With several copies, the nearest count.
Chain A
Amino acid sequence: MLDKTGIAKRIAKEVKDGMYINLGIGIPTLVANYIPTSLNVVLQSENGLLGIGPFPTEQEVDPDLINAGKQTITMMPGSALFSSAESFAMIRGGHVDLTILGAMEVSENGDIANWKVPGKMVKGMGGAMDLVASAKHIIVAMQHCSKEGASKLLRQCTLPITGIRCVKKIVSDLAVLDVLPEGGFKLLERAPGVTVTEIQQATAGKLIIEGEIPEMVF
């Protein structure tokens, strides 16, 4: 079973040289720490920056330079700054190669729910609906089950959804799965120490298992 760091490390392996990437808040933000330095990639922040750098030192802190999570950041050489309209033009136009974000639920046809829980205070969707409706490739970082043990990989989402038929890949604490265009979670890899049976029990949606399922290698 993977902890948050493990999920982030496994997702980092999906990153390819030359990619422009948008990282959501939470686990996705951690992914940046594990992208091999041999790869040239550029991180987009939807509030208006291409080329997010490391967090600043005390001396470098600049209130005019934050990421979409409102954290202070720095810029890489070759960065570009722009407005929110331009930023979402980029996102909507399909110019960002990979979007990594968290989810509360994913359905077997790729619907995602990650913005609202009925009965709880609604904070808003922020940029999530634009990102999921527009991205060429979406990887979701999530817990396979709730704290109560209920599966979050479902036939249909129970929570209000953020976007339809958009998730392409899931990296959970238990497994790596593709969401197939025709529907269904195709099991690709098991987390270290996790059995196929455990994954089957934790997946309420249609799970597709073909041949031997390898354990993740980091």
Chain B
Amino acid sequence: MINKVVFGAEEAVRDIGDNAVLMLGGFGLCGIPENCIHALLKKGIKGLTCISNNAGVDDFGIGLLLKTRQVKKMISSYVGENAEFERQLLSGELEVELIPQGTLAERIRAGGAGIPAFFTPAGVGTEVATGKEVREFHGKKYLLEAWLRADFSIVKAWKGDTTGNLVYRGTARNFNPMMATAGKITIAEVEELVPVGELDPNYIHTPGIYVQRIFQGKNYEKRIEQRTLSK
């Protein structure tokens, strides 16, 4: 098997330069590539386009890169909980493209799967439809949406083996599997890196063919946004 292991986050992101288009996995703060985000922060590259369902919070996740003004554009479905984000958006420092969540997920899958465009009903009749082809199938209207691809996809998995096979855990899976398929280079950080042969081939979520670099991350904080307990 092909060995994809790199030493750590800094080596993994070594060739990500200014103005790169990145995909970053996660939903809210769940399943985000914490180690790589910190490495990008340290690296200080600017002008990034970040495709990610959310934009983190003020002091965690992609929010950290916003604070340092490293992000030029966010492509997301929901960017709710971030005051610095709001400030930059209103001042015009930050561009934002909002995409319905299912369309975002499917456009990323399409990018990885070599499907340049597909029809979806989400957004018909709304401002999302502006400038897009509308076509009726079986009496219902649909929009034509294009694939999304990235220079680098950065995903976070629970376990991974040295050849890049990945397994996610719980709802930390979310956008990670599709993003893993849609990057020219896909970087995976995992909580536990295991030898080849240890993951059951029948239960692999992301086959290693999609992953170019993998490393075992450290000091995962896994911050919770809404700690909600039963009474």
Interface residues of A (CB under 8 A from B): 17-18, 20, 40-42, 44-51, 54-58, 61-73, 75-96, 111, 121-130, 133-134, 160-164
- B174 and A75 within 8 A (CB): no
Q: SS class of chain A's interface: helix, strand, loop or mixed?
A: loop
Q: Which B residues are CB-close (under 8 A) to A58?
A: 229
Q: Is B19 an interface residue (CB 8 A)?
A: no
- B125 and A96 within 8 A (CB): no
Q: Which A residues are CB-close (under 8 A) to B44?
A: none
Interface residues of B (CB under 8 A from A): 1-3, 27-31, 53, 76-80, 86, 89-90, 96, 98, 100-106, 108-109, 111-115, 120-128, 158, 161-163, 165, 169-178, 181, 196-197, 201-202, 204-205, 207-210, 222-230
List the A residue with the shortest CB-CB distance to B31. Answer: A64
Do A48 and B79 form a contact, CB below 8 Å, given A58-B229, A78-B196, A81-B201?
no
- A71 and B124 within 8 A (CB): no
Shortest A22–chain B CB gap in Å is 11
Shortest A7–chain B CB gap in Å is 20
- A83 and B114 within 8 A (CB): no
- A78 and B208 within 8 A (CB): yes
Q: Which A residues are CB-close (under 8 A) to B27?
A: 47-48, 66, 68, 70, 84
Shortest B27–chain A CB gap in Å is 5
B108, B111, B120 interface centre (most CB from chain A within 10 Å): B120
- A64 and B171 within 8 A (CB): yes
List the B residue with the shortest CB-CB distance to A61. Answer: B227
List the B residue with the shortest CB-CB distance to A47. Answer: B27
List the B residue with the shortest CB-CB distance to A54. Answer: B230
- B101 and A89 within 8 A (CB): no
